[in-house]
Structure 1
Amino acid sequence: MDVKDFYYDLPEELIAQDPLEKRSNSRLMILDKKSGDVTHRHFYDIKEYLRPGDCLVINNTRVIPARLYGEREETGGKVEILLLKRKSDDVWETLVKPGKKARIGTRLTFGGGLLKGQVIDIVDEGNRLIRFSYEGIFEEILDQLGQMPLPPYITHELKDKNRYQTVYAKYDGSAAAPTAGLHFTKELLQEIRDMGVSIAEVTLHVGLGTFRPVKVDDVLDHHMHSEFFQISEEAADLINTTRKNGGRIISVGTTSTRTLESAAEADGTLHAKSGWTDIFIYPGYQFKVIDGLITNFHLPESTLVMLVSALAGRKHVMAAYEEAVKERYRFFSFGDAMLII
């Protein structure tokens, strides 16, 4: 399977640089996964495509302000780090720029010494393990010093940090937002509940590996980085009951999808579970749990386009993306949405 099969041409001006003033005003493309037919709506119309007895599955992870700017203690040289994964209480796997100068033993300081760190190991693809030291509560210091880790294709400064969080974000741990959920308002979620649709919450802490470009020609040679997930007994029961009663499981985002498909038994049954997943979903994959997917428009040749293509078929997805470009949809994290049903 050639990575070029998932390429599409995207004019740069269609990459959304800022969130809309109201989350649910984004556009919504409905893609019929069987026929490939598309319909153009707005996100607030999504209720028309949901039915009583369905279950929406949302990812309640919270993005941490994971980008820190500091200095090397010995030289005063500038350094930028991105927190990727918490390995233990005060040890994080990080991406460091410039990386070559961050040797084992290098001491770093942030916020005039409010936070300090030391490189203690070099791991996968040159990432650094850093042990931090500080007085007080790490999360509070991070809120004070850190910046939201916006993707590199967003060049505008984010005025309100909360616009890179879902309205239902609860548990700290992500280096990027589960962006399909950014379209929901609290009011819209309540309206969906009121019409008899259940909402199940799962957690997957999004790492940058999800968005890492595929650098191999053959898709099957690509390796996904692992991310931590958790499914509660309550969520598992809700999803199992929905399936048993003939309702549809509609996943909000590729992260919720990967969580469900990682944890499910062969027959689609879920149990309370937590752990690490590096599941890679591409065409040919047989879905065990989900019936539909709410998602944004993803980067060309990305694993996310491949996942969407596994659900709706590559030809249908690539044709839908071509239509989205023609209709001037907004792309990527702050862009418009697609419902595959």
Structure 2
Amino acid sequence: PAKLAGKKETGSSAEIIVEEFEGKICKGYIKTRNPRIGTKLIFGKYNAEIIDENEEMFTIRFDENIKSIMKKIGQLPMPPYVKRKLEKNSQYQTVYSKKKGSIAAPTAGLHFTKKLLSKIRKKGVKIAKVCLHVDFGTFLPVRDINKKTLHKEYFEVDKKNADLINKRKGRLFVVGTTSVRTLESVNKNGKIIPKKGKTEIFIKPGYKFKTKIDGLITNFHLPKSTLLMLVSAFIGRKKLLKAYKTAIKNKYRFFSFGDV
């Protein structure tokens, strides 16, 4: 529950998507009119003030512990194009998620049920797990295609899963653009190394992949998104356009709850 909905001191609505927090201080994205340093915000009985700004990321100070506030009034952040209200938060969560920290689901993984994963394993397929905490920047359109880096996202790959990928004898199919970004961030000289940290890697057309990926399972993405650029880098613009034309012709569902 990383979204806080409230208002400015002046009365206009305000929302914060909390990216990281410690004590009474958090960093995140703010949706309101003209947010600036010194702007005072109200979330129910809790008060806050913007104390710093770095591009689109703001630092906000609350009058109480943020973790406690989010437990009490926090909401599940959803992509801006999802209008319907979910019956349960678990509808926007993969069945295999474990670590807290992502503000959005890696949506390619939503297609996998426990039953389907069991069937896959019974066929002899080995499943390696990696971690990447999706940042709200994933949903923002790209304003400068020439920039070399993107928003930072936390990743983690342990030795067990790195070895599983490196020692594979068959093909490597990657579930989701988040997993691709993770593998490319921990690839050293063609091998996946155990590592955790934050990545700013920007995978776009012209990028040279270090990991030998045989297939990518991914949703149909928003125009001008970094996700679409990653897929274009992987399969090429011509194949990408052909796939999207087929999807439109056959009325496939797009975005987070769409088809793959």
**Do these two structures clear the TM 0.5 threshold for a shared fold by scoring above it?**
yes
Match of 1:220 among 131, 134, 146: 146
1:185 aligns with 2:107: no
Q: 1:247 to 1:119 in 2, by over 3 A?
A: same
Distance in 2 of aligned mates of 1:145 and 1:315:
46
What TM-score, normalized to structure 2? 0.90
Match of 1:239 among 148, 165, 168: 165
Distance in 2 of aligned mates of 1:212 and 1:143:
26
Contact 1:210/1:224 (8 A) holds in 2:
no
Structure-2 residue corresponding to 1:69: 5
Match of 2:52 among 110, 118, 121: 121
Contact 2:36/2:53 (8 A) holds in 1:
no
Q: CA deviation at 1:151?
A: 1.4
Q: Which amino acid aligns with 1:185?
A: T
Distance in 1 of aligned mates of 2:31 and 2:23:
23
Q: CA deviation at 1:223?
A: 4.4
SS in 2 for 1:69: strand
Structure-2 residue corresponding to 1:112: 45
Structure-2 residue corresponding to 1:95: 29
Q: CA deviation at 1:233?
A: 1.5
Structure 1: any 5+ residue segments left out of the alignment? Answer: 1-64
Q: Which amino acid aligns with 2:43?
A: F
Contact 2:12/2:32 (8 A) holds in 1:
no
Q: 1:196 to 1:162 in 2, by over 3 A?
A: same
Structure-2 residue corresponding to 1:307: 230
Match of 2:244 among 297, 321, 330: 321
Distance in 2 of aligned mates of 1:235 and 1:112:
45
Q: Which amino acid aligns with 1:312?
A: I
SS in 1 for 2:45: helix
Structure-2 residue corresponding to 1:293: 216
Q: 1:120 to 1:248 in 2, by over 3 A?
A: same
1:260 aligns with 2:183: yes
Distance in 2 of aligned mates of 1:284 and 1:291:
18
Contact 2:173/2:216 (8 A) holds in 1:
yes
Q: How many residues align?
A: 259
Q: Which has the higher contact order (CA 8 A, sep 6+)?
A: 1
Q: 1:98 to 1:300 in 2, by over 3 A?
A: closer
Structure-1 residue corresponding to 2:125: 197
Q: 1:124 to 1:102 in 2, by over 3 A?
A: closer
Distance in 1 of aligned mates of 2:125 and 2:29:
40
Could you report, residue by residue, the CA deviation over 1:166-218 in whole angstroms, capped at 9, with x for unpaired residues? 111211212222100011111111221222111111111101222321224xx
